[in-house]
Structure 1
Amino acid sequence: MTKNMHSFPISTDDITTELLTDVLSEHRPGLVVESFQLANTELCGDGFASTADQVVLDLKYAEGSAPDMPGRVMLKTMLVSPHAPKAMYLNEVRFYHDIRPHIELETPQCYASLFDPQNGQFGIIMDDLNVKGASFPKATQALNLQQISGLVKTLARLHAQFWNSSCLKNEFSWIPTPCSGGMFDIFSKFGLGIITEQIRKHPFKQSLIDPIGLNLDQMWQIMWEVERHFEVYQPRTILHGDSHIGNTYLLPDGSGGLLDWQLIVMGCWAHDLAYLIVTGLETEFRQRHERDLIALYLEELKRRGVTDIPSKNEAWLLYRKAIIWGLVIGWLITPPENYGIDITKANISRLVNAVQDLESFNAS
């Protein structure tokens, strides 16, 4: 997983058959990439790729050297320089290297994952989901009940497998929590300042949160109180950690999957579920269906063997509280350049509507 990346590409011109053969043959001895073609490139800040660059490659292998490998793959990396803190890239590399082989979940298959701790450079070669006919929803679109239900079931499947599992204290103890490790130091020390600067540069963010009636300091304090309570009193499981609708995909059969594991944490299930439902649905549609979607999630946990499932009333309270993180850390801190102003506004609007109608900041 850890590798010196001194020869890793800083542009698509630097991608070579030798480099691809080297990284892909680590777990497939004898694999040889004879040639490749560049099919597509999505760069960070173009409205699709947020904190990494994505390069789609068509590969041709030496005959018989790669019988189980797809012809088209996606390289997720960063060209030229990092776009985010090292911890985010390391998180995703470790997810694909350490966790992905042990889960049956709708998320891309990984064929190589590398990280250079010296400079934060990383590379992950994975499925190109377009080959499967995937579509990629956004908060500017309207999902139907079947689509959001499929994604809810995917979250439940992930959470159920690791619900209060001993592996969280052993082989996966490296996974951070919202209140320790990973991005915590950056969020806790610099997050409020970053948000303050974001609002100064982009006044539309202040206009969107004005109806809440709280200042940033108050929102910040309440958010951390909620997260610390979750950490002490709630069951732990592996969370996607950044499960807004833009980090999901939908397949033609109605199922849904999860993308972008840079903020993986272990913690309270509601962290993921609330963020998904609120950013994934238009406000009135969410209001009509969110209780049923929470019930679906709880039923799916039970079906998958979880015994200490929260009651519906407790789940409802945790869901209401968990929305705060998605608003504050999820989107007030995120530069509009990452996804574009329209998507940023849509996410913040949905989250603000939710914390208001669910009285999230006063939930008890």
Structure 2
Amino acid sequence: MSGVVTQASELTAAWVSSALGVPVREVRAEPVGTGQIGTVLRLHLDADPTTAPATVLAKLPATDPAARAMMAGVYRTEGRFYADLAPTLTVRAPRCLYVAVADDAASTGDVVLLLEDLAPRQQGDQLAGCTPEQARVAALNLAGLHGPRWCDPTLLDVEGLTLNGPDDAALLADLFAPAVDLFLESLGGELALVTDEDAATLRACVPVIEEWALRHRERFAPVHGDYRLDNLMLPPEAGPGSELDVVAVDWQTLSLALPARDLAYLLGTGLEPGLRRTHERVLVEAYHRALLAHPRPAADGYDLETCWADYRLAMLQGPLVTVFGCAYGTRTERGDAMFAVMLARSCAAIRELGSLDLLAAD
């Protein structure tokens, strides 16, 4: 049986038994989240506890046809991550118990996942921010995403994974400028959530974003693309040896790009500016040490100063993702507040680190 199912009603005991390869007598499903991007269900399994977990998470396409058509490509991307990439990496992601990607998933969105249930781990809070220790744990996990396949040319053979080229960068620039206008009209106007200083920094990113997108294409790895606190399941108390407990979820935005984009996005949007200023050098050094534990970046001679320069340059990932997320995503009160905080933190980092100066200098 198994195969691809796309409706909650199809998650029967017979189908789950076939997918997991163990007998399941009964399945009870309950929704998780709001279902705006896709359908996530917690499946309670009546099965032998020695052969099957008590619960698993099922991810299906969105039930709304318009949302499903729009998100088809990202469903396929996440399916390919679990099917093809995750087994070759050491990043901590949910353990995948079953994945099926339809041949026409890029247009239909027909992808199904059964994943490890991460409860009782706690989701990070983007609004509240994180501690330096939580940032360290999350940064070390990133080394397991970037290091194993660092500059691996065979990544280009994975369906759906490409490096941005000139046409992609030009399209990004064409979309970014109006998205910035929409973002500032929405959050900087009546809501007054964006300061004049941050608005000026954001507008200064517009004319350089095309060049930024193409910078250092010779250094690439799988990047999460939205590696922020809301997409991380953190241990209640991160401490020495706890890095295996941080789990990155929501792999729909996976791509190939400069690896430091994930690191800059994490630290730039997750740490309050004062904490970032105090701890970012140490955190980048910790990430770099963990990265060099993998043969590929070590063999490439990826030194700490180059890593630090990449981190400074990559800080534009913060406003880029924030602007698109706000301008084209579903608006909520918490979302507006979160995007404003993310922009303020990342724009402060851009100014303090001289990120735009790196583009002007070359």
TM-score (norm 1): 0.81
Distance 1:22 1:40, change over 3 A: closer
Where does 1:214-363 land on structure 2 (aligned, <5 Å)?
A: 214=200, 218-231=204-217, 234-252=218-236, 254-255=242-243, 256-305=246-295, 306-307=297-298, 308-328=300-320, 330-335=321-326, 337=331, 340-363=335-358
Residue type matched to 2:115 in 1? M
Residue type matched to 2:292 in 1? K
Match of 1:122 in 2: 111
Match of 1:196 in 2: 181
Deviation for aligned residue 1:186: 7.1
What do residues 170-223 of structure 1 show as CA deviations (whole Å, max 9, x unaligned)?
A: 4x3641334489x97974554443443343344358862631464867523312
Q: Which blocks of at least 5 consecutive residues in structure 1 are unaligned?
A: 46-50
Contact 2:173 2:209 (C-alpha < 8 Å) held by counterparts: no
Distance 1:269 1:4, change over 3 A: closer
Mean Cα deviation higher: 270-279 or 143-152: 143-152
Q: Distance in 2 between matches of 1:121 and 1:209?
A: 43
Deviation for aligned residue 1:244: 2.0
Deviation for aligned residue 1:23: 6.2
Number of aligned residues: 339
Mean Cα deviation higher: 251-260 or 101-110: 251-260
Residue type matched to 1:241 in 2? G
Residue type matched to 1:337 in 2? R
Q: Distance in 2 between matches of 1:245 and 1:34?
A: 37
Q: Distance in 1 between matches of 2:90 and 2:254?
A: 17
Residue type matched to 2:112 in 1? G
Match of 1:72 in 2: 55
2:155 to 168, 181, 184: 168
Deviation for aligned residue 1:99: 1.3
Deviation for aligned residue 1:240: 1.5
Q: Distance in 1 between matches of 2:29 and 2:109?
A: 24
Is 2:125 aligned against 1:144?
Answer: no
Residue type matched to 1:282 in 2? E
Distance 1:148 1:319, change over 3 A: same
Q: Distance in 2 between matches of 1:16 and 1:266?
A: 33
Deviation for aligned residue 1:147: 1.4
Distance 1:216 1:284, change over 3 A: closer
Is 2:137 aligned against 1:154?
Answer: no
Residue type matched to 2:56 in 1? V
Is 2:72 aligned against 1:86?
Answer: yes
Q: Distance in 2 between matches of 1:184 and 1:206?
A: 31
Q: The residue matched to 1:230 in structure 2 has which SS? A: coil
What do residues 25-56 of structure 1 show as CA deviations (whole Å, max 9, x unaligned)?
A: 25x55x443212234421145xxxxx333221
Q: Distance in 2 between matches of 1:220 and 1:361?
A: 11
Match of 2:197 in 1: 211
Deviation for aligned residue 1:113: 2.6
Residue type matched to 2:125 in 1? K
Q: Distance in 1 between matches of 2:335 and 2:313?
A: 27
Identity %: 20
1:105 to 64, 74, 91: 91
Q: Distance in 2 between matches of 1:71 and 1:98?
A: 26
Residue type matched to 2:335 in 1? G
Q: Distance in 2 between matches of 1:334 and 1:286?
A: 23
Q: The residue matched to 1:340 in structure 2 has which SS? A: helix
Normalized per residue, which structure has more helix?
2
Contact 1:58 1:73 (C-alpha < 8 Å) held by counterparts: yes
Q: The residue matched to 2:57 in structure 1 has which SS? A: strand
Q: The residue matched to 1:271 in structure 2 has which SS? A: helix
Distance 1:343 1:214, change over 3 A: closer
TM-score (norm 2): 0.81
Contact 1:199 1:206 (C-alpha < 8 Å) held by counterparts: no
